[in-house]
Amino acid sequence: MNEPSLHRKTRKFSGYDAYSLERDQAYHLLPFRFHRIHNGKEVLVSEIGDFLIVPGGTAQRIITRELSKAADPVLYADLESAFFISETAVPPLIDVMATRYRTKKSFLDYFTSLHIFVISLRCEHTCHYCQVSRASQDKNAFDMSHHHIDKGIAMMMRSPSPHVTMEFQGGEALLAFDNIVYAVEKVKEESLRYNKDVTYVICTNLALLNDEIALYCKENRILLSTSLDGPAHVHNQNRHRPGNNSYELAVAGIELAREILGRDRVSALLTTTNLSLQYPRQIVDEYFARGFRSIFLRPISPYGFAARNEKKNRYLTADFLAFYKEALAHIIDYNLSGEFFREDYACIILKKMLTPFPVGYVDLQSPAGMINNVIVFNYDGSIYATDESRMLAEMKDFSFLLGSLDTHSYEEIFYGDKAMTFSECWSNESLPGCSDCAFQSYCGADPVFHHATQGDMVGHRPTSSFCQRNMGIITHLIELMDSDARIEKIFRSWISGRN
Amino acid sequence: MIIACSGKVFCITVAEALYGNSVLHKCFYWYTGNYGVEINPPVDGQSTIVLTASEAFTSQQEDALADKVKRDLIDFALRDIVSRETATVRELLIAKAFAHYDTAGDPQTAVADPVGFDTKTISVE
């Protein structure tokens, strides 16, 4: 009678030999990338986005099989547990790796969620960086018709996502508040039929906000997203309006919205102009003083009318990075003194670096957010792949026009020839310069940006300001965490929301 | 590796066996922002790359560029090794990730049965 054999699968732990440092030291590489950072160090990033900061030359030692389990037990264990190397050709935990990879791409699961309705192109501001707006008061020419609102809602209800966001943009969206009310009331009926959970957002400069509008927003749980470019002397120079009081109206509107809707129902966005670059600390202080506990240090979009005013709106990426780093240092100082105050762009990248989860930010995704996560219904019924695409159209560039609410079906828009063409260059995994980049999983692809700035949807990474900006910011964030453990703790508090 | 510089032209000659076509193209792609880049077909096992600047190189610039080229070539050669050696496992990983967990059977790994029992051999009465 044979002795019963102990099959390895039935044991909780592998045998002692499996853990011995004296074992055969051959190992297999798993997909990873590396990048040189400060102080002679390098960062290794695995295919699923985990990173290790190691002394310079480590990548070479790993790849040329100079690494020894006996001589480098800690590094060896770190590399094995973080999926940089494996002792078997196919790692035992490949299913775990696959789940991690899938989780990183789970923003694709429900397809398009953000639906932007350009409810009116009219505006009472004449901001020099505005990409699209018309000062015209011609309601018929520049407001979205009820017919197009209905068609847009019908298309939104076709989204596979159970949670969709309906964002009202302008011009100044509140100039067509009657249109917003019409759309919201319509969606309330339709969302019941289609079992959709709808989040409403109005993008507004708040100049026209009054009690009646604010109360309607409260009743319908509508979020308000506004613009605040910093202290009055910056904001009012960026955002012109009769009376030169855009700042005063924005601040009063923020207070009114907080009073009626609630403190967390209004957010503000910064647009960085040439003027802003001179005031990083003052802009951060303004946000903090106004009670915001986050700020999004956002560069200007080089689209539409904004591109015409080069003196005010065009700057070198290096200048933006200098502004960003100084502002971020000031924000970190607030945190070091015990306050919770975060920078949103850093937060998006840090969440990708420090958690297994993706971020629903359409400008930094691969595959890109265009169509996959966002669609734009313009005031005239035309449909664009992104918000920036309709800005290009204002400059007579219709490259990203997908069709019209009047003539195209859902399938023709979302799965049509144009969408297929864009798909060839919307994944950074297959873009020149990106395919070997260590920061691939933290970054994204932006065919619209590269078309607008370089005339080519694929883009040329060595001269791309998108690449330079993201490489600069990601490297800076890694170096900050490497240089000061307190900063890493602060960064982790930003993504967990806990002080 | 042979490096020669004259005026605006910086010329690198490398062994084809050490730095293949893919490595050279991926490496010198990043130089196309600042230089005209010409990668010539290998002759007698040697590949020549010509970088042309808009102004003549100073000796300081020449030294810095030589250091950068040597470092970048090694980095891209290493990246090429990882890319080639891990191509299969990367494909497998992505295929599994997007297979909607539709596995043909139980995962065949050492931790498939973490509590120490083989559930298939336990009889249920």
Residue A190: is its pLDDT beyond 50?
A: yes
A458 touches chain B (CB under 8 A): no
pLDDT in tens, A227-274: 999 999 999 998 988 888 999 999 999 999 999 999 999 999 999 999
CA distance, residue B118 to nearest chain A CA (Å):
5
pLDDT of the residue at A237: 92
Tell me the chain B residues in contact with residue A463 when contact means C-beta distances shorter than 8 Å. Answer: 33
Residue B96 and residue A36: Cβ atoms within 8 Å? no
Neighbours of A373 (CB within 10 A): 22
- Pick the closest to residue A275 from A240, A242, A305, A241 (CA basis): A240
Tell me the chain B residues in contact with residue A65 when contact means C-beta distances shorter than 8 Å. Answer: none
- Pick the closest to residue A104 from A481, A427, A498, A388 (CA basis): A427
By Cβ distance, the residue of A9, A47, A93 closest to B90 is A47
Residue A9 and residue B113: Cβ atoms within 8 Å? yes
The predicted model scores a pTM of: 0.90
A432 touches chain B (CB under 8 A): yes
Chain B's closest residue to A60, CA to CA, is B78
Q: Name the token pair of A237.
A: 């120079």
Q: Kindly give the confidence (pLDDT) of every residue in chain B, 125 residues in length, as a single tens digit, with 9 standing for 90 and above.
A: 899 999 999 999 999 999 999 999 999 999 999 999 999 999 999 999 999 999 999 999 999 999 999 999 999 999 999 999 999 999 999 999 998 655 555 545 444 444 545 555 555 54
Tell me the chain B residues in contact with residue A36 when contact means C-beta distances shorter than 8 Å. Answer: 75
